[in-house]
Structure 1
Amino acid sequence: MFVLQSLFDNKVFAVIGTILIIGLLAYLTYLLFLWVKKDIQLTKEEKSTHIEGVLTKSAMHSLISGNIAKLGNLGNFTLMYVDLDNFSDLSSAFGQKEAKKILTTIVQRIKKTLPRDISIGRYKGDEFLIFIPNFDRLETLEYANNVLKEIREKIELYGDTEIEQTASIALCYYPQHGGTVKDLIESLKIAIYNVKKNGGNDCLVYSESQNDNEDFVEYFYQIRSAIENKEFLLYYQPMINVNSKKFYGFEALIRWNHPTLGVLAPNKFINIMEQSGDIHWVGQWGFETILKTYSELSKVLPYPFKVSINLSAKQLLDETLAINFQKILKKHKIQPENIVLEMGEFALFEKDKTVNDTLKRLKLIGFKLAVDGFGLDYGSLERAEQLGIDIIKVDMKYLYDESFVAKKTLQVLLDYAKEKQVDIICEAVEDIKDVKKVQATGIEYVQGYLISKPIDLKILKTFIENFLIMPIDLEENEKETHTQPNENVEVNPKKENE
């Protein structure tokens, strides 16, 4: 009987094993099919958008990665990113066929201004990537300005029809601004958005101001040891409901407790971390730290509250960010609904597919999403709604702007927030006059020096305990507080101005 039972068990295991193997093979075949399909679609797309004498995106990637492999850290090259300003308007006005003719004309002009050993590739749509070997800094800047000058020249279409075009141009250098194709492209995107932020029609070297800063090199080499020595810390700035006098939450703000220079604000080191890649470390460290803080403050505060951190565009360009944050959440066994992830320049980055996809993943996990209200228009608000943005932050000066456009935009924000049940937080609230203005506008939540400057966790706990015994008297607090600029400093990287 035992032998028969054993034979039966063996047959069952064999059948189960066979089924599992067949299932695995079927799944791998399906994945292969999807990969081939995607590759075919990409090839078709590249052929349909091909311009003579211009490399495809995949060919340009191969060229760059090949040079990185060949040069190691001993050589250098420059990448130039050319993004035509508002080119989609021309496509809509004249159609795809004429748009391609315009692109061809622009490419011919660009090639005319550059040496023969320089390669140009179409990155996507109206964006081009130019590879410049053996760079000389002044030469590459001259190339960029010449390209910009050529693009600005009027283009004749037909008859008396002429169009004017401008471009936003970014430069980055290998290996200073990135050691991989992905890092270099990210650096270029950041620079491009900075150009766009200032109206386009210009060129910019990625983080050029930091390279020219005497402190840059010194801090660059000190940051790694600072990470090892645990010299970074978080300060917290309270946000309160001006009506109920209850805490809304706390924004986490990074500082560097430098061994010789004292406590440094982020404007001294965040840009360097972005260039070195350490921004990804500080982001995860900051996120894990605020989860621990949330657990500690939950023992002190008797009602729900939020803890907020800021995410930079460079972090949101990291496709693994959501997965990494989810792992840290599970490790600390904390639910995400009271953790707020804030993006300071949503209006600049909300059209970027990678940023959009990352925000969607974070929202699906359950995080609350906050954005800076500056620059939001009807289109941005529509996309904010699609992403499920929970919080919009506005600067106090925004409420004092009496221009028609500013008042109209603010009213649109207020109406949108009321309809969609989105919280609005007013930052940089410094005196009672500001509070009264906020209340008159119908905003409930405030943050600024009138309530508290950013403070460390130990002081924050005492602040909360005192607050619970006797809620803050804003008028009395104004007498004790010297009006000073609001420190809008982050766990990640908006730039703070001192």
Structure 2
Amino acid sequence: MENSEVDRLTQLLSDAQDIIKHQNSELTGLLESKSQELEEILGNIDQIIWYIDSKTLSIQYVNHAIGAVFGFTKEDFLADPTLWQQRIHQDDRLLVRSFFETLVPGASQEIRFRIHRVNGEICWLNSRVYHNEKLDLFVGITSDITQSKLQSEEIAFLAYYDPLTMLANRSKLKLQLHSRLDHSPLVPFSLIYIDLDNFKNINDTMGHEIGDQILIEVTRRLRELFHDDQLLSRFGGDEFVVILNNSDSVYISDFCTQIGQIFKAPFTINDVPFFLSSSLGISMYPEDARNCEDLIKHADTAMHEAKKNGKNQFVYYHSSMQRAIHNFLHVESLIRDGLKHDFFTLYFQPLVNASSLTLQGFEALMRLPHPTEGYISPDTFISVAEKNGDILHIGHIVLTQACDFIEMLQLQYQDPFYIAINISAKQLHQVDFAQELLNYLKQRSIDPSYLKVELTESAVMDNIEIASRQLHTLKEGGIHIALDDFGTGYSSFAYLAQLPISTLKIDKSFIDTVCEVDSHSHIVKAISNLAHVLGMSVTAEGIETQEQFNFLVENRIDTLQGYLLSKPITKEEILHNLTSLIPFFLPKKALSYSI
């Protein structure tokens, strides 16, 4: 081959090498550029991107996100490829190693484990890992799930524990009871239902923050009484339920006494002492019930019996209590039926002037004639309505029907008789009760003097401040006020002098035996004399005999009421006979006619 040809080939080879070098340089630059772009992309991802050797588990690559989670830099991990293993929580190291040893090639799986940050804090991680068999690598994406894990744990905690007191809650209690009944059905135990007396008053007057602090202190004192194998739970509000691993009544009574003792010392919050007591109800397994729901229900029933008996005591459940509840619920259903279908109606019993025997007015008495159950006694339904709150609705019906009757009387008489209506304690304690009553009379254009309200001693004395405020508003509005069933409660003439009461009604229990029991006759005389000194009139109710009538007239009783004079009758009967009404009520004829 000629030299010129060799030179030409050499030149071509050199040119080719230059081209290859140039292309390699371009490719290298491109790869470096793409690598930088990829690194920049991976560096801005919050999740940790990594791959490790499938045999040694030493780290081969990781992005910068690892620094925010572990507290070490990316360079720290690349310099020490086993650093990440050293940071795994000791209790999770076997879990992690087993995970990688059993990861199937070509498969992708998740694992959750804990690590220690550089500052010692524990962090929860979630990793999705792929086994690349060709490259002998485990490739993974890891996320910090600490917050979501804590939230999940908090949610799980709140599902079974009360966040204020840290006690087991209602769900935990029932879970524990079900477990006990399933696994140890032959082992007897007892359930104690604790309710704080009058705690609602503290919440209403002082606010829930003070109430919460008291609940925390109650919990602290209760905890001191309990063993680890006994469950103390906050059932809700101011109610606590205890599972006691004992069915011996002597032990239980002693334990309940100890619970009562923790309330002897006041609960001092912000230097203010609060005095509380508790009512306890006890049910026994298996004597009282054999399932969770009935055990709780019966203990609750016994607790309410303790409250009814005066509070600050403990009561054992008895089956008779359940019968009382069934009766209560039955009467309650009749009340609701009566309210729904307008069965409630007023009867009116005449109030007669003792001196002239002329008609002064009528007391409105609510009746519940049920179409299928017959006549429901007021003694039966009033107490139930007081407890369940229906008395407020019934009270409005009384006012409405009484005003209807006043309007009917106004059509026949320019100056009609007054109507006395009974007001319950719940009505009296409604914030705007007095003003709303006056507004209702004004709305119907009824003179307030045609209406008298009657209240029992207990209703007034239950909260003398509220009662005084309401009664003064009524008095200023022109309504007369009578204190009913006087002599059976605990009011004093000192209080009576401060209240705008115009009439005292002597309780029927004194009238029944006024001619047979000297002490009762003395009481009636004393009430009459002192009431007149205070400028009040006196009414005697429940008069049934001529002897009672004579005694009351002789002792200056102002107004008479009772079956001797007239039974309670309907407004239709009154209106039908009103024009021919005998102006004088003669006792000897009273049982032979009705107005």
- Fold match (TM-score > 0.5): yes
**Selected match of 1:375 from 481, 488, 492:** 488
**Aligned mates of 1:480, 1:381 — CA distance in 2:** 39
Q: Tell me the alpha carbon deviations over residues 188-209 of structure 1, each in whole angstroms, 9 at most, x when there is no partner.
A: 8x996x645xx9978799xx96
- Measured in 1, the distance between the counterparts of 2:379 and 2:464 equals 25
Corresponding residue pairs, total: 350
Residue 242 of structure 1 aligns with which residue?
354
User: CA separation in 2, counterparts of 1:293 and 1:280?
Assistant: 20
Alignment partner of 2:550 out of 415, 433, 436: 436
Q: Does 1:424 align with 2:538?
A: yes
Counterpart among 324, 342, 347 of residue 454 in structure 2: 342
Unaligned runs of 5+ in 1: 1-61, 69-76, 85-103, 122-128, 158-165, 172-186, 482-498
Conserved 8 A contact 1:195-1:203: no
* 1:451 Cα deviation from its structure 2 partner: 1.1
Change (3 A) 1:474 1:152: same
Structure-2 separation of matches of 1:318 and 1:145: 39
CA distance in 2, matches of 1:433, 1:348: 32
Partner Cα distance (1:475, 1:117) in 2: 68
Alignment equivalent of 1:131, drawn from 239, 264, 280: 239
Q: Does 1:310 align with 2:422?
A: yes
Offset at residue 370 of structure 1 (A): 1.2
Q: In structure 2, the residue corresponding to 1:307 is in which secondary structure?
A: strand
1:277 Cα shift? 2.5
Contact 2:471–2:500, Cα closer than 8 Å, also in 1: no
In the alignment, which of 577, 580, 592 is matched to residue 466 of structure 1? 580
Residues 1:80 and 2:188 are matched in the alignment:
no
Residues 353-409 of structure 1 deviation map (CA, whole Å, 9 limit, x = unaligned) = 4444433433343322111212356x6222222121111111354254577765554
Per-residue deviation at 1:313?
1.8
Equivalent residues of 2:367, 2:378 under 8 A apart: yes
The structure with higher relative contact order (CA 8 Å, sep 6+) is: 1
SS in 1 for 2:400: helix
TM-aligned CA distance change 1:392 to 1:109, over 3 Å: farther
Q: Is the 8 A contact 2:196 2:239 kept in 1?
A: no
Rounded Cα–Cα distance in structure 1 between residues aligned with 2:392 and 2:431: 12
Work out whether 1:476 is the aligned partner of 2:589: yes
1:212 is paired with a residue whose SS is helix
Is contact 1:118–1:130 with CA below 8 Å preserved after alignment? no
Aligned equivalents of 1:470, 1:264: Cα separation in 2:
33
Corresponding residue for residue 441 of structure 2: 329
**Contact 1:113–1:147 (CA<8 Å) still a contact in 2?**
no
Please name the residue that 2:404 is paired with: 292
Q: Which runs of 5+ in 2 are unaligned?
A: 1-163, 171-191, 200-216, 266-275, 282-302
Query: Secondary structure at 1:341's aligned position in 2?
Result: strand
Q: Is the 8 A contact 2:197 2:312 kept in 1?
A: no
What SS is found at the alignment partner of 1:424?
A: strand
Q: CA deviation at 1:284?
A: 1.1
Q: Where do 1:78-227 residues align within 5 Å?
A: 80-82=195-197, 112=225, 117=232, 130-132=238-240, 149-150=257-258, 169=279, 195=309, 212=324, 214-227=326-339
> Is residue 252 from structure 1 mapped to residue 360 from structure 2 by the alignment?
no
Match in the other structure for 1:56: none
Q: Could you state the TM-score of these two structures normalised by the residue count of structure 1?
A: 0.57
Conserved? CA contact 2:349–2:567, under 8 Å: yes
Could you tell me which residue of structure 2 aligns to residue 15 of structure 1? none
CA RMSD of aligned residues (A): 4.9
Q: 2: distance between equivalents of 1:230 and 1:169?
A: 38
1:450-480 deviation per Cα after TM superposition (whole angstroms, max 9, x unaligned): 111111110122343332x452321122467
Cα offset for 1:134? 9.1
- The CA deviation at 1:427 is 0.6
Aligned to 2:474: 362
TM-score, reference length from structure 2? 0.48
The code of the aligned residue for 2:451 comes to I
Distance 1:315-1:80 versus aligned 2 partners, 3 A rule: farther
Residues 477/409 of structure 1: CA separation in 2 closer, same or farther (3 Å cut):
closer
SS in structure 2 at match of 1:475: helix
Q: Which has the higher helix share?
A: 1
Report the 3-state secondary structure (helix = DSSP H, G, I; strand = E; otherwise coil) of the residue aligned with 1:388: coil
C-alpha distance in 1, partners of 2:315/2:367? 32
Q: Are the structure 2 counterparts of residues 455 and 213 from structure 1 closer, same or farther at C-alpha, using a change threshold of 3 Å? A: farther
Cα deviation per residue 1:327-354 (whole Å; 9 max; x = unaligned)? Answer: 3112211122231111123377344544
Check conservation: 1:274, 1:314, Cα contact below 8 A: yes
Distance change (3 Å), C-alpha of 1:318 and 1:439: same
Instruction: Give how far 1:143 is off.
Output: 12
Post-superposition offset of 1:211: 6.5
* Per-residue CA distance 1:223-265 (angstroms, 9 max, x = gap): 4343232111111111101221111211111112312123322
Q: Given the superposition, is the C-alpha separation of residues 256 and 431 from structure 1 closer, same or farther in structure 2, using an over 3 Å criterion?
A: same
DSSP 3-state at the match of 1:429: coil
Mapped to 2, the partners of 1:357 and 1:204 lie a distance apart of 41
Offset from partner CA, 1:153-191 (integer Å, 9 cap, x none): 8x999xxxxxxxx979488xxxxxxxxxxxxxxx98x99
Q: 2:471, 2:499 within 8 Å by CA — same for their partners in 1? A: yes
